Structure 1
Amino acid sequence: ASDGARKFYARECLSPVFLRNLYSSTLGNILDTYGECILTGYITGGKACALYTGLSRNGSSSTSKETGMEKSIDASFSWKKNSVSGDFQFGKGNFNYESSEYNMEQLYTKMWIYGGDPVGLSMNSAENLVNINFDLAPWVASLSDSKKHTIIDITDNGLYPLSAFVIEENFKKRLDATTSNLLEKYPSFVEPHIEIMRVFERYSSSNEALYDVVAVLFTRQGDRIVLRSGNASTASDAELRQNENATVFSQKALNIKTQKQNFYELRISSNSVTRLNPKIGNPLCIDLPKVNEANMYTYTNPRTGIQYIYDTENKIAFSHYTDDLDGDWILDDYGIRSWVESLPTKSISMATLANSYRIIGL
């Protein structure tokens, strides 16, 4: 599936049960429940697999050992070409240990049969090949019944990570990082809150780390959403250095808290100790260059029940799930009900949101 197709499936084809679980469970629990990957392309039919181990004659070179093993394996199967009935034999009678070109003393094998009707073909353990004589023709014939087919292989690009079908940027990154063991699974939700702290902005010409004072939203999943004002990008190095001053930091933190309290009715505190670099990746950070809560709209997807709080200028959107059972409880978790309900409603294409906006799942 192309990237465009996956985004289409993610925004239009996910089941209500999955979406509800996505927003009401930790992403670690989502991985435990649904698995890390989604199978999108596979081949069905029947398959016979055999694993071999052999003992070569004394004095055999590594080359002769490999040659002997390969020829013995090839000789253990007999397949009559162009045979509609599937004249397929496996085992003794197709080779012998005495032939000097094989250089094998003993050859053991274990065979697995997938699909079809494998009556009489079971092997509980590896056996000496001279003691095996299987007629696979009945099994091959049984594969004419498609009801006896099973999955025997995955097509190229037929397996995608679960994150490929999620459009929320922070959900996608946390799924990938957790799958790669870069992040630990949270056993339960974190209480949403905002901490005002120093966040890395850039390096100076002398390679000095410069920091801005920024509000950071901690989501229920433990993500850090950096809510920048956009002013630091045009600030001089000297202006950013002033943020190291405790008095300057305290005053900026107070101003930011006063401004954010107009939108977020949750715990907001200042943290003068932590220095956050969003580029490191642990903790997981989503760095938003500019967030203007006063200039947003809301749109609810009627099919999924997901509401988007979006900014057309900065191309960002916050999303939360609403269902018939619990309603829009996430608004209360973040203390944003009053703010969101005061925003104007404006329709927007889901394709536009999925393709052009950075969507942050709450």
Structure 2
Amino acid sequence: MAHPALFQPIRVHDLELPNRIVIAPMCQYSAVDGQMTDWHTIHLGQLAMSGAALLTIEATAVLPEGRITWADVGLYDDATEEAMRQTLESVRRWSDMGIGIQLGHAGRKASTEVPWAGGAQLPPGHEHGWQTVAPSAIPYHPQENAPVALDHAGLRRIRDAFADAARRAARLGLDFVQLHGAHGYLLHQFLSPLSNQRSDEYGGSLENRMRFPLEVFDAVRAAFPADRAVTMRVSATDSVEDGWDLEQTIAFARALEVHGCDAIHVSTGGLHHAQRIAAGPGYQVPFARSVKQAVSIPVVAVGLITDPEHAEAIIANGDADIVALARTILYDPRWPWHAAEKLGGTVRPPKQYLRAHPARHRHLFQVDGPADPAPVWIRDEKGTR
């Protein structure tokens, strides 16, 4: 059997990935004052044993007011950095998977309740709410509290906060930084004419709307070690008339490549309450394909990629270089194992799990030394096994 495309190695800047499966950032809404908790150790720890090539820490705010919810993770002071250091120390003790972080600012979509409590925006004065900021004083939904339009001092403060968070990420030994330019958060808000109606050099033309996201990228690239990757996640379309679209996304992707971006992760939507998205298996893959045809850096596809054969076809057909899993891998944290079994690939599990498969399936596991020669039986209280 030919080695499956999904399990072929690929290089992204300095990162040597053993396969084309990465774990997308997924907010957990379980932090305390921006600080990671034991939940993050459990969550990231299990994903670090999945057999995927890379793990991306959830959208992490570069300022307290940049958090999506009051329970989001941040990386904006010594306390949040120390909490993340402790979590990473535990995870790395048992896994050598590459780990990076998605840095972002929620802009007008900040100051919300956690999803399982309704997810509504919390206005200033609420126990968990604060005043939001954005390119223009346009709320996400007309009934919500309007954001304050950022002045030039505010833009500098946010740009510098992204750079500072990147320096903290470097101190933590994180392998890469991904900037969150998708899903209607601040950088996406600058890109879209639906949310950016500024009359200065940061609004109007496509060149102007791209200016602040590119300034942030440049600041992060300068702050993060040159031998480590910096990538960007984008929404390829707002799915709203006269909004951000694929043509503009391609122009932005080309600009990012010129500025030294190492990979582009292509998603869609999230900017406008009136979006209409027909979701289905791989519904965002065509956007990734179009971006890939326009740039020479690796492109990541995401969105309802749940079947190993589908993921294999995406890579084999050249639609994308890498596939990202989110809800799929929450449901099945061993998805890469099962994909390897179905497609004829291999994964590298923790040595403690080498006996997880019967002997006939041991070819799925890459190991540094000899694998368990036979199952290890555990005696129960009665002495049987």
Q: Who wins on radius of gyration, i.e. which is larger?
A: 1
Q: TM-score, normalised by structure 1?
A: 0.26
Structure number with higher strand proportion = 1
Q: TM-score, normalised by structure 2?
A: 0.25
Structure number with higher helix proportion = 2
